[in-house]
């Protein structure tokens, strides 16, 4: 499965499930995350700093939050995109 930082929400869950279940090998870059319930805005007291975060905090089998994205099995090779990386892996 080709993945990158633009994958969020349902696409994030599909990539996570594919990796965790062994259904597919992920190639590309860390997914965008953005899964864990409705996005919420909050301001830190006494600072005025605003944060946007998912309300829930689901994690994968390794304790990594789904909000932080799913790490692929293979990152893009230098100078190649995900499809070119896959084709290189297949050739080798």
In Å, how far are 2, 12, 19, 66, 82 from 89, measured between CA atoms? 13, 23, 18, 27, 10
Q: What is the pLDDT of residue 14?
A: 94
Distance in angstroms (rounded) separating the CA atoms of residues 20 and 16: 6
Return the higher-pLDDT residue of 34 and 77.
Answer: 77
> Model's pTM, two decimal places?
0.77
Distance in angstroms (rounded) separating the CA atoms of residues 75 and 30: 8
* Averaged pLDDT for residues 78-82: 97
Q: What is the pLDDT of residue 81?
A: 97
Q: What is the pLDDT of residue 6?
A: 94
Q: Tell me how many degrees the CA angle 83-85-90 measures, rounded to the nearest 5.
A: 95
Q: What is the pLDDT of residue 35?
A: 67
Token couple for 26? 């992920």
């Amino acid at each position: 499965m080709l993945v990158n930082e633009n994958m969020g929400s349902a696409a994030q869950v599909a990539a996570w499930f594919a990796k965790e279940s062994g259904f597919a090998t992920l190639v590309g870059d860390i997914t965008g995350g953005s899964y864990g319930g409705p996005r919420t805005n909050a301001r830190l007291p006494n600072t005025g700093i605003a944060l946007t975060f998912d309300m829930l905090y689901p994690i994968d089998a390794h304790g990594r939050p789904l909000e932080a994205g799913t790490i692929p099995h293979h990152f893009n090779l230098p100078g190649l995109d995900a499809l070119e990386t896959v084709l290189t892996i297949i050739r080798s």
